[in-house]
Every structure is written in structure tokens, then in C-alpha cells.
Amino acid sequence: MDDKQLMTTACEVINIEAQAVNALSVKIDENFIQACHLIAACKGRVVVTGMGKSGHIAGKIAATLASTGTPAFFVHPGEASHGDLGMITRQDVVLALSNSGETAEIVTLLPLIKRLAVPMIAMTGRSDSTLAKFSSAHISNAVEKEACSLGLAPTASTTAALVMGDALAVTLMTLQGFTRDEFALSHPGGSLGRRLLVLVSDIMHAGDQLPVVTADVGVMDALVEMTAKKLGMTAVVDVQGCLLGIFTDGDLRRILAKSIDINAAQVADVMTANCQVIRSDILAAEAMQVMEEKKINALIVVDDESKVVGALNMHDLIHAGIV
């Protein structure tokens, strides 16, 4: 095969699998809805099982369910009949994947599943299969043909099963009112979790680390405060601690360009008044959006009475993994 033929083969695979996925929407029927209701009513967990390539897809579906508000885990059907079936309780629901619907390792488990009176959802390519007939709800993911040139290797069928599993997980997520905060709680270690969990109050500089001066001090005193607190800025407040403005490195460069005597100038005369502020109880990711939109590198944090309670800059967001 020359390079052009290789490209043609690859495109054919993609087209066949795309067609298989597009055909799934007509398979969303009362059985799919029944499966959703069975899982939503489940007081235990969804036990997902499958053999071979279907097993790999089953593992991914279990992980997606678990991360979107539906407790789930994968059980290998071969191991289940040798002790792992003890993981299934009467409170659970079983989701079994098999393209043929006749996978021996899963069929062997059916009498045991029936004895436990556990509802089983089958996801297969054949509505007349053993698993489909045994199930409380059968979700069809039948495909017209595999993308494999021999028509043998699970390709389009596994892609269809994966997409159907995602459809099930996201539908359940919507049905159960799963929120962004709940999603973040199950992803605390990744950048997504940090963006959804970290608040401004978690990373802002406060107390002795907060750069702040009163309006009556000179520019040189403000520069000393900025240098000591290392944020490249300082808040300017009145005697009650309410924000009047901000003095930044940029303000310093501007007054130097105007040949203003920094030894004689007061910070109130050269600060930026009506500066952008933020609350401590919002997400740090929102603070980043404000900085990007306003093209600024630092923010003052105020309370309901406009009193300064903190400050942060872009470096704080980078250090926290928000950027």
C-alpha cells in the first residue's frame, strides 16, 4: 500500500465509526429511560462488567459514572465467578456490556445475579441475545459493521458502546442535578478541581502580608511597603481601612515619565482611584478572568464595607495552578 492508500484506509475507519455513533440517537428509547430510572433509584452502586474489549469500555464507563455523581466500579466477569461477585450487594444495579450478548463469563453470572434480585441493564448489539432477554432494561448499541477491514476486531461496536455509556452518565448527571462543585469534589487533584474549588480567600495575601498604606503617606513610603510585601502594588486606604485606590509599579513608571518628584509627592495624588476589586468568597478562576479582561496583574480584595482584606496577583494564581 502506498501512502495515499494508507490515508484512505484511516479515513474509512473514521467514517465507519462516525456513522455508527450517528446511528445511536434512534436507539435512545424507553429501555434507555428505564435504565436511567433503575440507576437513579439505586441505593447502592452501579457494578459495570464486560469481557475483553468490552471490559475496557466498561471500566471507562464505570469511571465516568463515578466522576459524575453515580457511584460505580468495574468488576471483571472472570474474577466475579471466583469470589469477586461478593462485591455485588442487593442494593446495587449491574450494567453488563457484551456486543454479542452471549459472553460466557457474564452469562455464567446470571443465576447469581437473579438470586440476589439485583436489576441488570444489558448493553449489547443484539436484542435477541441471552443478556438482552435476561435484563431489566436492554440498551442497544448495535452497529452496521465493524471498522476493521476483516470485520472482526471490535472497533465501531466498542466506540458505540463508549458513546452510549457517556450518554447514560451525562443523562444521569442531569437527572440527579449534579453540580460543578460536586464534580470538583471528585477531582481535587487535577487542574480542573483547583479551578473549581480554590477561592480567592485561599490564595490571597492578608494580615501582615498585605501591602497597604494610608492616603497621607508619601510615594517613597508606598514604595517601601510595595518592596517589603513583594506584590508590585499596594492598597491605599482611609483611616477606617476602606479602599481609596491602588498604587502599582505601572503608576510609578508613569509618574517618573512625567518627571514628578517622588520624594515630595503623596501617594493619594498619583494612585489609581476606582480600581478593580474582588470579593474573597469567589473562585480564584474568576479572579483570573477579571485580570485577563481588564488587562491588569493584581487585584485588591474587599469586604461588604469596602474595607481591604487581601490582595493577590497573577503570580499567586500561577502558583496555585489556576492559570
Q: What pLDDT is recorded for position 186?
A: 59
Residues 162 and 224 in one domain: no
Are 124 and 19 members of one domain?
yes
pLDDT at 161: 96
Domain span at residue 254 reads: 200-319
pLDDT for residue 243 is more than 70: yes
pLDDT band at 148 (very low <50, low <70, confident <90, very high): confident
Are residues 58 and 137 located together in one domain of the fold?
yes
Q: In this structure, is residue 75 part of a structural domain?
A: yes
pLDDT digits (tens, 9 = 90+) for 222-238: 999 999 998 989 999 99
pLDDT of residue 152: 73
Q: Over the stretch 83-116, which tens digit does the pLDDT of each residue have?
A: 667 778 899 999 999 999 999 999 999 998 988 8
In this prediction, residue 177 carries a pLDDT of: 80
pLDDT at 258 over 90: no
pLDDT score recorded for residue 190: 55
pLDDT band at 320 (very low <50, low <70, confident <90, very high): confident
As a whole-number percent, the residues of the chain with pLDDT over 90 amount to 66
194 band by pLDDT with thresholds 50, 70 and 90: low
154 and 268 co-located in one domain: no
Instruction: Please state, rounded to an integer, the average pLDDT across all residues of the chain.
Output: 89
Q: Is residue 149 part of a domain?
A: yes
Query: Per the domain annotation, does 189 fall within a domain?
Result: no
3-state secondary structure the chain: CCHHHHHHHHHHHHHHHHHHHHHHHHHCCHHHHHHHHHHHCCCCCEEEEECCHHHHHHHHHHHHHHHCCCCEEECCHHHHCCCHHHHCCCCCEEEEEECCCCCHHHHCCHHHHHHHCCCEEEEECCCCCHHHHHCCEEEECCCCCCCCCCCCCCCHHHHHHHHHHHHHHHHHHHHCCCCHHHHHHCCCCCHHHHHHHCEHHHHCECHHHCCEEECCCEHHHHHHHHHHHCCCEEEEECCCCEEEEEEEHHHHHHHHHCCCCCCCCEHHHHCEECCCEECCCCEHHHHHHHHHHHCCCEEEEECCCCEEEEEEEHHHHHHCCCC
Q: What is the mean pLDDT of residues 38-54?
A: 95
Last residue of a domain, one of 178, 212, 235: 178
Task: Give yes or no: residues 172 and 275 share one domain.
Answer: no
Top-confidence range, 244-248, 256-260, 319-323: 244-248
Most confident of 82-86, 161-165, 176-180: 161-165
**CATH number of the domain bearing residue 243:** 3.10.580.10
Q: Are residues 171 and 67 in the same domain?
A: yes
